[in-house]
Amino acid sequence: MPSESIPTEKLVRDLMRPLDQYPYVKERETVQEAFRLTEKARRKGRPLCLIVVGEEPSEKEIIKGFVSPPELVFGLTTRFLKGAAKSGPIFWEGQLKAECLEGVKKRVVEVMVPIKACARETEMLMEAVFLLNKYQVSFLPVVNKEEVVGIVHLEDILKEISRIVLKQCVNA
């Protein structure tokens, strides 16, 4: 009689995406360049997340943060959002265009999400869920020893949870 293996939970490394799926952008580049790279990634069917690296030769391999769609949208409109928080929102024709054209002059470092935590590739997914929730982020760098080897996304964890839940519903 063949022995049945006990199913084990997946680890972070099982869901992480390799770094080669992501474009890199330097922290001093303009947000306009970040938009260009994001659009290029969209056309290629890649994740809409940019890895932000430093400017100095010694920093080129250091991941400083990430830029994803929320940072691009809210980073362009921070001036409006701050004003709206103080006195309430005031809208006018052409406002979005004006905010966008002004906002793309910012540097990536001004809108990026800095790295707040990393997940080890050998950790259980619950550890990644804990860190994503604790730091209110949608993705984490995944490390093996001191080297970043990939990124784990909340979206991919959701897919795994859906797989578990829906499988359970079918078997119930």
Residue 3 pLDDT exceeds 70? no
Instruction: Spell out the residues 6+ positions from residue 125 whose beta carbon is closer than 8 angstroms to its own.
Output: 9, 10, 11, 12, 15, 157, 160
Q: Does residue 17 belong to any structural domain of this protein?
A: yes
Residue 21's domain comprises: 12-171
Q: Does residue 52 belong to any structural domain of this protein?
A: yes
Q: Does residue 2 belong to any structural domain of this protein?
A: no
Q: Does residue 49 belong to any structural domain of this protein?
A: yes
Give me the pLDDT at residue 171, please: 66
Q: Does residue 6 belong to any structural domain of this protein?
A: no
Q: Does residue 117 belong to any structural domain of this protein?
A: yes
- The tally of domains found in the chain comes to 1
Residue 46 pLDDT exceeds 70? yes
Residue 12: which pLDDT band, with cuts at 50, 70 and 90? very high
Q: Does residue 112 belong to any structural domain of this protein?
A: yes
Query: Tens of pLDDT along 132-168?
Result: 999 999 989 999 988 889 999 999 999 999 988 987 7
Q: Does residue 156 belong to any structural domain of this protein?
A: yes
Query: Tens of pLDDT along 73-119?
Result: 888 887 777 777 777 787 878 888 988 898 899 999 999 999 999 99
- Whole-model pTM? 0.81
Residue 1 pLDDT exceeds 70? no
Whichever domain contains 17, its CATH number is 3.10.580.10
| In 27-68, beta strands by DSSP E | 50-53, 63-67
CB burial readout 94-122, b (16+ within 10 A) else e: eeeeebbeebbebebbebbbebeebbebe
Residue 39's alpha-carbon distances to 7, 45, 54, 107, 170, in angstroms, are 40, 10, 22, 18, 39
